[in-house]
């Protein structure tokens, strides 16, 4: 008797783990509550469809709409079992996904959904952060007259490309996105902070938060508005708000060795501080009284602490760069009077001085290099020849000599690396070291921007042309970014509580361990998990690739039940 066997295979990978976290965040439920489609909507709900789409984005790192339908076809059983109802490819056609973007583009509804999502996430994951960070980034797109996509200052160093600007706030210490706003590419950063802070305040439902931003947030009106709501700020002051002359006056006692700044050491990951550690910075603090009107026009008066900090690493880098520029300038200056074929000679001392000034300006080392210009005069007698009488010939050669001015250079080096930060926190609430540590964690929001525009979520390059849909897509990707941040936070928190590390997630390095794994590394560990559908003489059997020890441990650290994978074969 012959046996007929047919088999099909479906990649499962990291899809179940992703969907579990989307369910924990109540994404589908909240979307269905705040976005009501019209009566013609059939099949999977708007929220359920969006969850499947987010699973595609997180698993594949691709936001293109037309790629989703064939992906659903290839993962239909996995998606249906994880979602809890039948998922068909027609539920995720590119037309339906575009319609979802149209719904998400309604600002009022998105704002209400985002607030509800934040409250749900903060409660479910027991997050008690009191610090919010704010910053902006840009994404290149297609130019549109009078639209969102405009030429402006590019955070990606491509001012030649039209762009859209994204303003975002995140919650410390995990970098969880709280609010997202999309504006035209040429919009200045300064006016974006207060609306974003107001949205954070509304989502958190409380005051007393500390807002950390760059010098664009340090506008006096912005600081006054934060004070008016009993909140706090920490931001560096720009050269306009803290002129060089004023900073020189503050640093004068330090540079004269009349005052010794405090050594600043950063706490370890567990919060402990070791006084034997090498300091990362030196600093001092002083207080000023400020008064300015808030947005309502009411005058606000408060005490502001100025943290004057010298980062030792920054100062070392700046010193190295400065000395290299000085060395290059000295080399070029000393070569000015060298004779070389095809090289014009210096005509006089004025021309030499002008050329020397240009070199000093090019290397930005004016006052740090001593330049001496002289003229060598040589006379000799040219003997008589035939009827030509003997004559005295006079020749002149302009000489340039340069050397670094070590006294001025040493003084300039001591001035490097200083920056002033402003806060309305008291010294008891935010010490000098705590202020430095808080601002140094600004990489958290930059890491989120890197994920948003990098391989993880692939916002750029943008393939959509409709402005409303681009705005909605960025908002949708902010949900995906939340998933990446939360998975990473949960795993690292569980590793820290167990005082353990995780190994087996580095390709080609099975013995390498880490206590700080990224979500991308964790999800990659599930590549190759496959669901097989085997039919033997009409009898259907499902088989799932057995999860290895590392995968099981990752699921435990993620707080994802093993049953989510086991349920695919039952």
Task: Kindly report, residue by residue over 70-101, the tens digit of the pLDDT.
Answer: 999 999 999 999 999 999 999 999 999 999 99
Residue-level pLDDT at 185: 74
d(CA 281, CA 61): 39
Angle among Cα 343, 347, 348 to the nearest 5 degrees reads 140
Of the candidates 280, 278, 355, 287, the one whose C-alpha atom is nearest the C-alpha of residue 312 is 280
Residue-level pLDDT at 153: 63
Residue 180 contacts residue 114 (beta carbons within 8 Å)? yes
Residue-level pLDDT at 127: 82
d(CA 502, CA 79): 28
pLDDT bracket for residue 305 (50, 70, 90):
very high
For 315-326, the pLDDT digits (tens) are 999 999 999 999
Q: Is the dihedral of CA 348, 354, 360, 363 positive or negative?
A: negative
Angle among Cα 556, 173, 552 to the nearest 5 degrees reads 10
Residue 376 contacts residue 401 (beta carbons within 8 Å)? no
Architecture of 128-243+285-309+418-461 per CATH?
Answer: Alpha-Beta Complex (3.90)
For 211-240, the pLDDT digits (tens) are 999 898 999 999 999 999 999 999 999 989
For residue 150, the 8-state DSSP code is: B
In 28-162 the beta strands, taken as DSSP E runs, fall at 131-140
CATH 3.90.350.10 range(s) for the chain read 128-243+285-309+418-461
Residue-level pLDDT at 378: 73
Q: Which helix (H) or strand (E) holds 474?
A: helix 467-497
d(CA 467, CA 450): 22
Of the candidates 518, 526, 465, the one whose C-alpha atom is nearest the C-alpha of residue 488 is 518
Task: Give, to the nearest 10 degrees, the angle between helix 27-34 and helix 46-60.
Answer: 130
Q: Which residues on adjacent β-strands are paired with residue 303?
A: 289
Residue-level pLDDT at 152: 63
Judge whether residue 155 has pLDDT over 80: no
Residue 350 DSSP SS3? helix
Residue 12 DSSP SS3? coil
Q: Which residues contact 563 (CB under 8 A, 6 or more apart)?
A: none
Q: Which residues contact 536 (CB under 8 A, 6 or more apart)?
A: 3, 4, 5
Residue-level pLDDT at 541: 86
Residue-level pLDDT at 465: 80
Judge whether residue 502 has pLDDT over 90: yes
Judge whether residue 1 has pLDDT over 60: no
Residue 129 contacts residue 152 (beta carbons within 8 Å)? no
Tell me what the pLDDT averaged over the chain comes to: 88
Buried/exposed 226-250: b ≥16 CB within 10 Å, e otherwise: bbbeebbbbbbbeeebbeeeebeee
What percent helix, strand, coil does the chain show, rounded to 5? Answer: 45, 20, 35
Work out the number of other CB atoms within 10 angstroms of the CB of residue 19: 27
Residue-level pLDDT at 483: 96
Residue 385 contacts residue 429 (beta carbons within 8 Å)? no
d(CA 475, CA 458): 13
List the alpha helices (DSSP H) in 335-391.
Answer: 349-363
Place of tokens 């987010």: 54
d(CA 98, CA 216): 35
Angle among Cα 313, 279, 409 to the nearest 5 degrees reads 45
d(CA 167, CA 163): 13
Residue 406 contacts residue 363 (beta carbons within 8 Å)? no
d(CA 64, CA 49): 15
Judge whether residue 268 has pLDDT over 80: no
Which tokens in the block code for residue 439?
Answer: 């601002």
Judge whether residue 290 has pLDDT over 90: yes
For 97-135, the pLDDT digits (tens) are 999 999 999 989 999 999 999 999 988 887 878 899 999
Which tokens in the block code for residue 525?
Answer: 């560990």
Max alpha carbon distance in the chain (Å)? 129
Residue-level pLDDT at 325: 94
Judge whether residue 308 has pLDDT over 90: yes
Judge whether residue 149 has pLDDT over 70: no
Judge whether residue 340 has pLDDT over 90: no
For 419-455, the pLDDT digits (tens) are 999 999 999 999 998 899 888 888 888 888 889 888 8
- The mean pLDDT of 539-559, rounded to a whole number, is 92
User: Phi and psi dihedrals of 85, rounded to 5?
Assistant: -155, 165
Which tokens in the block code for residue 419?
Answer: 């920056």
d(CA 134, CA 118): 16
Is 9 or 342 the better-scoring residue by pLDDT?
9
d(CA 107, CA 508): 46
Place of tokens 């990606």: 156
For 363-422, the pLDDT digits (tens) are 999 989 898 888 877 767 777 777 788 777 666 778 888 899 999 999 999 999 999 999
d(CA 249, CA 234): 23
d(CA 230, CA 211): 12
- Decide the pairing of beta strands 232-236 and 210-212: parallel
Residue 146 contacts residue 224 (beta carbons within 8 Å)? no
Q: What is the pTM of this model?
A: 0.85
Residue-level pLDDT at 495: 94
């Amino acid at each position: 008797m012959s046996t007929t066997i047919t088999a099909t295979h479906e990649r499962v990978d990291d899809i179940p783990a992703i969907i579990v976290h989307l369910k924990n965040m109540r994404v589908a439920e909240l979307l269905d509550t705040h976005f009501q489609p019209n009566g013609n909507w059939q099949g999977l709900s708007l929220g359920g469809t969006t969850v499947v789409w987010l699973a595609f984005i997180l698993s594949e790192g691709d936001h293109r709409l037309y790629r989703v339908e064939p992906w659903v076809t290839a993962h239909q059983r996995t998606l249906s079992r994880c979602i809890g109802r039948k998922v068909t490819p027609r539920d995720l056609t590119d037309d339906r996904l575009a319609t979802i973007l149209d719904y998400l583009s309604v600002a009022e509804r998105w704002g209400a959904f985002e607030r509800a999502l934040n409250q749900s996430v903060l409660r479910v994951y027991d997050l008690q952060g009191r610090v919010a960070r704010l910053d902006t980034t840009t994404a290149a797109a297609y130019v549109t007259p009078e639209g969102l996509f405009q030429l402006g200052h590019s955070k990606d160093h491509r001012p030649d490309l039209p762009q859209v600007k994204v303003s975002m706030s995140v919650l410390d210490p995990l970098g969880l996105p709280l609010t997202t706003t999309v504006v035209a590419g040429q919009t200045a950063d300064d006016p974006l902070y207060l609306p974003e802070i107001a949205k954070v305040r509304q989502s958190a439902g409380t005051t007393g938060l500390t807002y950390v931003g760059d010098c664009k947030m340090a506008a006096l009106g912005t600081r006054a508005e934060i004070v008016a709501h009993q909140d706090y700020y920490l931001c560096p002051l720009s050269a306009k708000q803290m002129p060089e002359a004023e900073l020189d006056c503050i640093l004068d006692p330090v540079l004269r060795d009349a005052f010794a700044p405090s050594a600043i050491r950063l706490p370890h990951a567990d919060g402990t501080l070791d006084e034997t550690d090498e300091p990362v910075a030196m600093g001092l603090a002083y207080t000023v009284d400020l008064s300015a009107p808030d947005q309502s026009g009411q005058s606000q008066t408060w005490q502001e602490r100025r943290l004057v900090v010298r980062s030792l690493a920054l100062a070392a880098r700046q010193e190295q760069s400065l000395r290299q520029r000085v060395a290059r300038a000295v080399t070029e200056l000393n070569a000015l009077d060298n004779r070389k074929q095809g090289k014009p000679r210096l005509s006089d001392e004025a021309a030499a001085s002008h050329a020397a000034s240009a070199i000093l300006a090019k290397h930005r080392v004016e006052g740090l290099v001593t330049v001496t210009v002289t003229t060598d005069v040589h006379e000799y007698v040219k003997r008589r020849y035939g009827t030509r009488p003997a004559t005295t010939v006079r020749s002149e050669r302009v000489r340039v000599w340069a050397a670094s001015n070590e006294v001025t250079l040493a003084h300039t080096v001591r001035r490097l690396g200083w920056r002033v930060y402003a806060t309305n926190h008291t010294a008891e609430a935010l010490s000098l070291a705590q202020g430095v540590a808080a601002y140094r964690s600004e990489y958290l929001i930059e890491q989120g921007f890197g994920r948003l525009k990098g391989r993880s979520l692939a916002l750029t390059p943008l393939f959509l042309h409709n402005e409303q849909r681009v705005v909605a897509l960025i908002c949708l990707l902010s949900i995906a970014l939340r998933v990446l941040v939360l998975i990473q936070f949960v795993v690292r928190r569980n590793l820290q509580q167990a005082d353990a590390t995780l190994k087996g997630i580095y390709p080609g390095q099975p013995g390498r361990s880490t206590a700080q794994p990224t979500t991308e590394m964790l999800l990659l560990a599930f590549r190759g998990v496959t669901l097989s559908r085997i039919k033997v003489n009409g009898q259907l059997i499902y088989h799932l690739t057995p999860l290895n020890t590392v995968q099981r441990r990752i699921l435990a650290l993620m707080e994802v039940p093993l049953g989510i994978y086991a349920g695919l074969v039952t």
